[in-house]
Amino acid sequence: MSELLKVSRSDLSATLTINRPEKRNSLIPEMLDQIDLILDEIANDPKLRILVITGAGDVAFSAGADLSVFASFSPEEVRSKWVPKGHQIFRKLFELPQITIAKINGDTFGGGLELALACDLRISRSDARLGFPENRVGTAPGWNGFQRAVEIVGVARAKELILTGVSIDAAKAESWGLVHQSVSYQELDRATESLQSEIFKSAPHVQKISKQILNTFQSSHSNTVMESIAGAFAHQTKDFQEGVSAFKEKRPSNFRGE
């Protein structure tokens, strides 16, 4: 396994670190494949009770899909591979028998936010920004971001996030229920450890059953086909090409509705 992902373990918990800080911990296909394997290992370890997911460095949890790599895919690759692969892996994370915590150590956008929303609990540093900027580069969330955002914060706030592409700070994210707790950067480690301590106070088997029951109230994972088609369609537009160019050139996009 490469150094793009790191896993550390203690007796009862494991931490998965997205280790691409020079690219704001953005995700590429190789990393998705590795996350898939890591989740299988975690799921099959009966001793582990908690998985913490975080990002390397102090800038970003994850900026989502690496736009340069995503832009190189054909529409058919987006529809048949990239979007379904993300759905499959994030569903596996969602259904993991262990309790999962997204330790949001910095900015969290697009697929990075979808990754965090697939976790059971989210704790964020207070100066982190969170959002779905996909519309601003001419594409759309593709890894069940639509449905999970609606389930967690409601249709109105999901529309605000997705349709405008705005990012919100962790304090607002906490007030919306997008994250469960926001703390200072200095307190993030301690707060995460405290949350784990509270989890350890519950009976392990009952906790697993309770998580399964709670998950049944979320009708996630029905949007793979719709998001795959949406991603493939957006990928063919001139607006997407303009969005990618503007992103690389660090300038405002000049969308023409084409």
73 Cβ neighbours under 8 A, 6+ residues apart = 81, 82, 235
Element (H, E) at 111: helix 111-117
Q: At what angle do helices 83-94 and 224-235 cross, to 10 degrees?
A: 150
CA 82 – CA 95 distance, rounded (Å) = 20
Q: What are 24's two structure tokens?
A: 């704001």
On whether the CB atoms of residues 104 and 128 are closer than 8 A, the answer is yes
Catalytic, 41? Answer no
Residue recorded with tokens 């529809």: 79
Q: How far does the chain reach from its first CA to its final CA, in angstroms?
A: 42
> What are the φ/ψ torsions at residue 246 (nearest 5 degrees)?
-65, -40
Whether 114 is a known active-site residue: answer yes
Check 3, 114, 193, 249 and give the catalytic one.
114
Catalytic residue among 134, 160, 174, 227: 134
Q: What's the number of CA atoms in the CB half-sphere (13 Å) around residue 54? A: 20
Exposure letters 124-143 (e unless 16+ CB within 10 A, then b) = bbbebbbbbbbbbbbbbbbb
Which sequence positions are flagged as catalytic? 114, 134
